[in-house]
Structure 1
Amino acid sequence: MKSRGKPSMAHMEQIRIPAGTFPTKQAMVQAALREAILSGRLPPGERVVIDEVARRFGISIIPIREALRQLEAERLVTSQPHVGPVVTGFDEDAVAEMFTLLEALELAAARHAVERVGDADLDELEKACEAVERAAPARWEEANARFHARLAACARMPRIAEHLARVSGEWERLYRLRYREAAAPERTRAEADHRAFVAALRRRDLAGLESGIREHNRRALLHYRG
């Protein structure tokens, strides 16, 4: 990935100071930069100029450097020699790797979920399905991400859920950058998949759940490749 060279100050101005309270300045900056990257306001290849971020928030560069280290661990930022931190881009190999990881983690979660899911979990999943189906096209991916996070939580495996959240964040960013909104047929198929996942969990049908997850991810990858 090539650097864009000179950073866009307009993009730096798009970093929004988040609402709410944060335990540290680092956490505040990290949340703001993550949101700017996931939303596309800081596009792939854009330099993150530490001095400009410090000016924007009125703080020293130390918490900003710490925040960027955490974002680099999430693969949202890449440190380039002689350039500095740059918003990570996507290429075909990175996308293929992302989907491989996503599927492996979801399958691992599924194996535990069928053994541990309870009635309350299933009720929450039904509500999450309904939220996806009611979501406006521009907000559909957010509701979709919440459903998948809720599904993973049924496994009661916090480390799997944590890694899934990171990979899902990459997918969400790719989705927003490439598609903006899901076309109606893709939304309908995904929503049907969600209902099938919940039904398989109710039956404690691991084979059915695994097959559904594989097909769901296969179609998503094909949709990306167009």
Structure 2
Amino acid sequence: MERKPMTRTEWVYEQLKEAILSGKIAPGERLVVDQLARELGTSPIPVRETLRRLEAEGWVESKPFVGARVSHVKLEELEELFTIRLALEPILARTSVKRVTQEAIEELERLVNEMDESIEKNNPNEYSRLNYEFHRVLYDFSPWKELHRIVTTVWEKSARSRWVFVQTPQAMMESQKEHREMIKAIIERDEDKMERWMRTQKERAFKTYISTLKQTSNEELAKSLRI
């Protein structure tokens, strides 16, 4: 089925949401309609519509006399979401193993190779995008559709964790080792190995992200107290 072209508002939404998820627009940063419209080369109308949608989704918050800002990352909420993901994603990956096609294996290998290139080019945002695609391709083969729906929902809610690669570039190298082990598990049709490596990756990545977030929060608090 041919995909319908995006409207101007949909395009602005995609641009601003990606900027928030990647950390390009930082938590707490003001979102000024006229400024954003100039930067995106559009009128203020689709920007206003986009900000209302992002606010409804929880990515943006608006206050009287202050305006719109990117919502701050809430540590307790992320810890809850990560705990759910750690419990469910290894199972979802496990159920995908025996259904992944040879064509999909080649696609996963291509994505890993492109991630290598993004590391060489020091492009963590591109790495993050490719990493997201790697997991999407894998999970889409699971026959457990309700589990897939739940994971996708929680995944979206914790999407700002994608910028962990911007904050900790060494995580990219560790992640690549794990991706290659996952591909081996698929080729061998080894469900146990896939579940084990997916859990290893999630435990490492989530621990790194939470640690980085806590450190950043402490630094911001220290600055506010002029310590």
Check 1:124–1:164 CA distance in 2 against 1; reply closer, same or farther (3 A cut): farther
Report whether the alignment pairs 1:43 with 2:30: no
TM-score of the two chains, using structure 1 as the length reference:
0.70
- Secondary structure, aligned partner of 2:30: coil
TM-score of the two chains, using structure 2 as the length reference:
0.70
| Inter-partner Cα distance in structure 2 for 1:65 and 1:97 | 31
Deviation at 1:214, TM superposition (A): 1.4
Check 1:104–1:49 CA distance in 2 against 1; reply closer, same or farther (3 A cut): farther
**Where does residue 209 of structure 1 map in the other structure?**
194
Contact 2:22/2:163 (CA < 8 Å) preserved in 1?
A: yes
* Equivalent position to 1:66, from 49, 52, 62: 49
Deviation at 1:44, TM superposition (A): 0.8
Contact 1:102/1:168 (CA < 8 Å) preserved in 2?
A: no
**Where does residue 106 of structure 2 map in the other structure?**
123
Structure number with higher relative contact order (C-alpha < 8 Å, ≥ 6 residues apart): 2
Amino acid aligned to 1:148: H
Deviation at 1:24, TM superposition (A): 1.7
Contact 2:62/2:68 (CA < 8 Å) preserved in 1?
A: yes
| 1:19-38 equivalences in 2 (<5 Å) | 23-38=6-21
Contact 1:149/1:161 (CA < 8 Å) preserved in 2?
A: no
Deviation at 1:27, TM superposition (A): 0.8
Deviation at 1:51, TM superposition (A): 4.7
**Where does residue 7 of structure 1 map in the other structure?**
none
- Secondary structure, aligned partner of 1:133: helix
Deviation at 1:78, TM superposition (A): 3.0
Contact 1:200/1:209 (CA < 8 Å) preserved in 2?
A: yes
Over residues 102-135 of structure 1, what are the superposed CA-to-partner deviations in whole Å (9 max), with x where a residue is unaligned?
Answer: 3345235324312421121112112222222333
Amino acid aligned to 1:171: S
Contact 1:200/1:206 (CA < 8 Å) preserved in 2?
A: yes
Check 1:45–1:72 CA distance in 2 against 1; reply closer, same or farther (3 A cut): same
Amino acid aligned to 1:173: W
**Where does residue 73 of structure 2 map in the other structure?**
90
Amino acid aligned to 1:144: N
Select the structure that is richer in helix: 2
Could you tell me the percent identity over the aligned residues?
A: 32
| Inter-partner Cα distance in structure 2 for 1:91 and 1:84 | 20
Check 1:39–1:167 CA distance in 2 against 1; reply closer, same or farther (3 A cut): same
